[in-house]
Structure 1
Amino acid sequence: MRYTHIVFFLLAAFVFAQCEQPTDKKIPPKKKRAWVKPVSLSYHVEKPSEWLRKNASAAQKKIVMAVNRTDSTFLKKMDSILVPDDLSADLELYLPFPTSVSSLSSIEKIILFSYPSQTFGAYEYGELLYAGPTNMGRKADPTPTGLYYTNWKAEKTTSTFNDEWDLLWNFNIENKLGVGFHQYELPGYPASHSCLRLLESDAKLLYEWADQWVLNKKEELLAKGTPVIVFGSYPFDGTKPWWQLLNDPHALDISEETIQQVTAPFLNDILKQQQQRNKFNTDKD
């Protein structure tokens, strides 16, 4: 009987310890996304007015906007547009980011902005959550490349460059320079004053998904937000890079190796900041 009591006590203590033990890591996704792939990936050129008369679905229109790095207003104004021959796949598969990156598997959340392809990719534990088009800084006001973290956010704010510009779903990533990602018109090429412009649906998704910084009552930084890396350069004096897709549908593909090279210099800092953010969240809970 005494032996039974001892075993019961040890088991109870073990279960209690396991329940009370804090964790500083979120649970990664259990399953990879089941992507809907195109039957074949190829492109052709059309007049936007003619293509729009074909009564394409909302999902198909968004794919075509993403491929041309533009929004619905500017799509209509273009002389010619790129159109995938097969529009039945997931939008992300028409954009250059890989769906899985093993070197990012320890990073809870990260957003990558590719200057050359004018696209972004958002990852959770190395699995692509979403991708979309962006129009980044113009030649005179390029978006600074490197590692940033999401800071404060606002559903609607006014541009520091022009007080007549309203920015929706704005998420600041560089407080002193006023750089952030947000909804604004996408003419189909780098046109901003260093910010990262997005479609409204994409801006809202990242607004709700990414983490803000954490400040104390004295506005001192306790924890940084979600890491954001801007990389590469844009050929401002050349043809829009995505027109290469006509001859090679994989011309802009970003490999896992490239992302590994881009993130490697910042990995230690990203993991350090992630640990700090999780420690704060654990303490707060």
Structure 2
Amino acid sequence: MFTFSLKKLCNLILLFSVISFSLQCEKGQTFDSQEVQVEKYDSIERINKDSLIQDSVKRNTVVYHDFCFPKKKRDSAMAVFNKEYSQEDQHVILALNRLDLKNKWRADTLSIPDRIDSTLMVYTPFPQNLEILKGVHKIVLFSYKIQAFSVYQNGKLIRWGPTSMGSKAAQTKRGLMFTNWKKKLSISSVSSEWKLPYNFNVQNTLGIGWHQYDLPGYPASHSCLRLLMNDAKFLYGWADQWILNIGGTTVKANGTPVIVFGDYKWGAKKPWKNLSINPKSNNISVKDMNAAIEPNLPKILEEQEKRKAIEASENQH
């Protein structure tokens, strides 16, 4: 004679729900008008998890799997996701999908890596080194195509992360800009209800800056560069402000160079949703990075030397 505790019964119901929505995903069910292609993945058992991780470490690659949130079983799927992954792990997974914890409910499919790296560096879509930037002390680059930013010091990648740039109707200006003023908490000029932590302005006349704000998984801002809180804090302390004259009316030297480049394919499948099919689907090549940097390099180096001379002069006094 068998007896079941309430806990065992709940676990059986949960397992049945997972199997049900996993089967739906494997059949290529359409969610939100997008065809989802998914590899088999047991979200509870994580079959062969250890061997997958060891194999990926040996190859220095990351394997991704898709986790689906079918419309009819979204709550059940989210319950499994919340149970399976800690908030710290969720933070990493959501960042790879250009989402934050607040907006995880928007997910229909998440690309999940076989190992968690809280720095995100193991997943970088940007080149680790760029010879063209060897003489540039600091620079930040934002890719519209993959909605991500990269930070380089003397050609070495030191950080990257997700962003949400300008929407189709309010696209972020492309090209070279320089950081200027910053404020720990700014109020948006569009709406006084929008609080912008760790705001760093990069285009004064257009009011473009980077700051912490919602990452909904697509370009949604009013031309600013939205970031996760940790990234906004880092860039707030790392980048340089402009140097003004004593009266504060003219600019003596610009701050850190910032380049916004590339184009987002509006209406197409988001590139980070192809990671389970091709782990390199997000990658930006050295050639593409160089193409964005090279036309701006003379101006970047010129401004860098100007700032260096002004800082040296001010230190003497």
TM-score (norm 1): 0.83
Give the aligned residue type for 1:42.
Answer: V
Per chain length, whose mean CA-contact separation is higher, i.e. which structure has more relative contact order (CA < 8 Å, sep 6+)? 1
How has the CA–CA distance of structure 1 residues 88 and 158 changed in structure 2, closer, same or farther, with 3 Å as cutoff? closer
Confirm whether residue 42 of structure 1 aligns to residue 79 of structure 2: no
Q: Is the CA contact (8 Å cut-off) linking 2:215 and 2:226 kept in structure 1?
A: yes
Gap regions ≥5 residues in structure 1: 1-36
Letter in 2 for 1:155: K
Whether the 8 Å contact between 1:115 and 1:136 is mirrored in structure 2 is yes
Q: 1:217, 1:249 → 2: CA distance? A: 51
Question: Of 147, 150, 159, which aligns to 2:179?
Answer: 150
Of the three residues 211, 230, 251, the one matched with 2:240 is: 211
Cα gap change, 1:55 to 1:245, in 2 (>3 Å)? closer
> How far does residue 138 in structure 1 lie from its aligned partner after superposition?
0.5
Task: For residue 102 of structure 1, report the CA deviation from its aligned partner.
Answer: 1.0
SS at 2:186's partner residue?
strand
Task: Name the amino acid aligned to 1:227.
Answer: P
Q: Distance in 2 between matches of 1:167 and 1:111?
A: 20
Contact preservation (8 Å) 2:92, 2:117 = no
Secondary structure class of the residue paired with 2:84: coil
1:207–1:129 distance in 2 versus 1, CA, 3 Å: same
Give the match's secondary structure for 2:141: strand
What CA distance in whole angstroms lies between the structure 2 residues aligned with 1:265 and 1:101?
A: 15
1:185 equivalent to 2:205? Answer no
Shift of 1:93: 2.5
What are the residue-to-residue correspondences of 1:4-23 with 2, within 5 Å?
Answer: none
What SS is found at the alignment partner of 2:275? helix
Partners of 2:92 and 2:153 lie apart in 1 by 22
Cα distance change, pair 38–107 in 1 and its aligned pair in 2 (3 A) = farther
| C-alpha distance in 2 between matches for 1:213 and 1:157 | 18
Q: Structure 1 residues 226 and 186, CA, compared in 2 at 3 Å: closer, same or farther?
A: same
What do residues 42-82 of structure 1 show as CA deviations (whole Å, max 9, x unaligned)? 21111462222124362x33321221101111124423211
CA deviation profile, 1:99-129 (whole Å, cap 9, x unmatched): 1111100000000000000000001000111
Q: Unmatched 5+ residue regions in structure 2?
A: 1-54, 70-76
Asked if residue 282 in structure 1 is aligned to residue 312 in structure 2, the reply is yes
| 1:121-165 deviation digits (Å, cap 9, x = unpaired) | 001000111100000001110111100000100000111111211
Q: Is the 8 A contact 1:109 1:227 kept in 2?
A: yes
| Residue type at the aligned position of 1:87 | I
2:293 alignment partner, one of 250, 260, 263 = 263
Q: Percent of pairs identical after alignment?
A: 42
Q: 1:254 aligns with which of 248, 259, 284?
A: 284
The aligned residue for residue 103 of structure 1 is: 132
Q: Superposition RMSD on alpha carbons, in Å?
A: 1.6
Separation of aligned partners in 2, 1:138 and 1:220: 32
1:53 aligned counterpart, secondary structure = helix
Helix, strand or coil at the partner of 1:182: strand
Contact kept, 8 Å, 1:63 with 1:87, in 2: the verdict is yes
- Identify the residue that residue 73 of structure 1 maps to in structure 2: 102
Structure 1 runs, 4 residues or longer, greater than 3 Å off = none
* 1:117 equivalent in structure 2: 146
2:209 maps to a residue whose letter is: G
Which residue pairs with 2:29 in the alignment? none
Q: How far does residue 236 in structure 1 lie from its aligned partner after superposition?
A: 1.2
- Which of 253, 261, 265 is residue 231 of structure 1 equivalent to? 261
